C-alpha cells in the first residue's frame, strides 16, 4: 500500500507533442531528400500554416504515399529537447510514490516516447489505450490504479476536455499543467466544473511542493 499514487498524462504533459511532430518531420525529410537541408523546416512551416505537409511532400516526392509517411511518423524514435521528467520521477519515487501513466495513442508511438524520455521504467503501471482497449475518459483506464490502495490519488494532465472529468468523479486530486503557448490543442477552461482540475501548475517541478510534504 502506498500513501500517494501519481498518474500522468503523456502528450503535452510529460513531453510537448509539437516536439514529437518536429522530430518526426526531421526524420521524414532526411529520408525523402538528405541533400535538402531545409526540408524539415519547410514541412514544419506548412504545418504551422494549417497546410497538409504530407500531401505537399507526396506531390514533391512521389515515391511516398500518405500511408508511408504516417507509418514513419508513428513508428519513429523521437529526439526530444532536454527534459526534466527523469529527475522529477526519481525524486517522487524516492519519496515512496507510486507512479502511473494514462495515455491515448498507438502502443509503439507512446512507448517510443517514453523510451526517448528515459522514464519508462519509473512507472508501476502503464495504461496505453491501444493496449488497454479503451480511451480516456473511460473509468476503466483510471479505476485500474485502485489496486495500489493509495490514501491519495493524483492525476496530472493538460486536456480539459478528457483528462480530469473521470479522476474528479473518482475522488482524485486533479492537476493541470498550463499551456505555455506550445500545446497542439488549446486549453479551454470554459467548461462545467466537472471537467476542471482542482489545481493548476506552470511547470512539472511544482508538483513536488504540492504533493511531497
Residues 6+ apart with CB under 8 A from 192: none
Q: Each residue of 135-159: b (16+ CB within 10 Å) or e?
A: bbbbeebbeebeebebeebbbbbbb
- Residue 184 pLDDT greater than 90, yes or no: no
CA atoms of 132 and 195, how far apart (whole Å):
23
- Round the average pLDDT of the chain to a whole number and report it: 95
- Residue 1 pLDDT greater than 60, yes or no: no
Local confidence band at 2 (pLDDT 50, 70, 90 cut-offs): low
**pLDDT for the residue numbered 65:** 96
Mean per-residue pLDDT, 61-80: 96
- The 8 Å CB, 24+ separation contacts for 20-28 are 20/78, 20/80, 20/113, 21/47, 21/184, 23/76, 23/78, 23/79, 23/80, 24/72, 24/73, 24/76, 24/78, 25/53, 26/79, 27/72, 27/76, 28/57, 28/69, 28/72, 28/73
CB atoms inside a 10 Å sphere around CB 187 = 16
**pLDDT for the residue numbered 206:** 94
Which residue, 123, 128, 157, is CA-closest to 15? 157
Mean per-residue pLDDT, 113-117: 96
Q: Are 178 and 153 in contact (CB under 8 A)?
A: no
High-pLDDT (> 90) share of the chain, %: 93
User: What's the whole-model pTM score?
Assistant: 0.94
Amino acid at each position: 500500500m502506498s500513501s500517494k499514487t501519481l498518474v500522468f498524462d503523456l502528450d503535452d504533459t510529460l513531453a510537448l507533442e509539437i516536439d514529437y511532430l518536429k522530430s518526426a518531420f526531421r526524420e521524414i525529410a532526411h529520408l525523402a531528400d538528405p541533400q535538402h537541408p531545409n526540408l524539415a523546416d519547410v514541412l514544419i512551416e506548412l504545418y504551422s500554416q494549417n497546410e497538409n505537409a504530407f500531401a505537399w511532400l507526396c506531390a514533391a516526392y512521389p515515391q511516398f504515399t500518405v500511408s508511408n509517411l504516417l507509418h514513419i511518423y508513428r513508428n519513429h524514435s523521437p529526439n526530444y529537447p532536454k527534459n526534466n521528467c527523469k529527475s522529477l520521477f526519481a525524486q517522487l519515487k524516492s519519496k515512496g510514490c507510486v507512479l502511473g501513466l494514462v495515455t491515448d495513442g498507438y502502443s509503439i508511438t507512446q512507448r517510443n516516447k517514453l523510451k526517448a524520455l528515459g522514464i519508462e521504467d519509473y512507472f508501476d503501471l502503464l495504461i496505453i489505450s491501444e493496449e488497454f482497449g479503451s480511451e480516456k475518459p473511460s473509468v476503466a483506464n483510471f479505476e485500474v490504479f485502485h489496486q495500489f490502495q493509495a490514501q491519495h490519488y493524483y492525476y496530472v494532465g493538460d486536456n480539459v476536455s478528457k483528462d480530469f472529468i473521470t479522476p474528479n468523479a473518482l475522488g482524485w486530486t486533479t492537476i493541470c499543467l498550463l499551456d505555455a503557448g506550445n500545446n497542439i490543442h488549446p486549453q479551454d477552461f470554459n467548461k462545467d466544473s466537472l471537467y476542471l482540475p482542482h489545481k493548476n501548475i506552470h511547470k512539472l517541478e511544482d508538483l513536488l511542493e504540492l504533493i511531497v510534504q
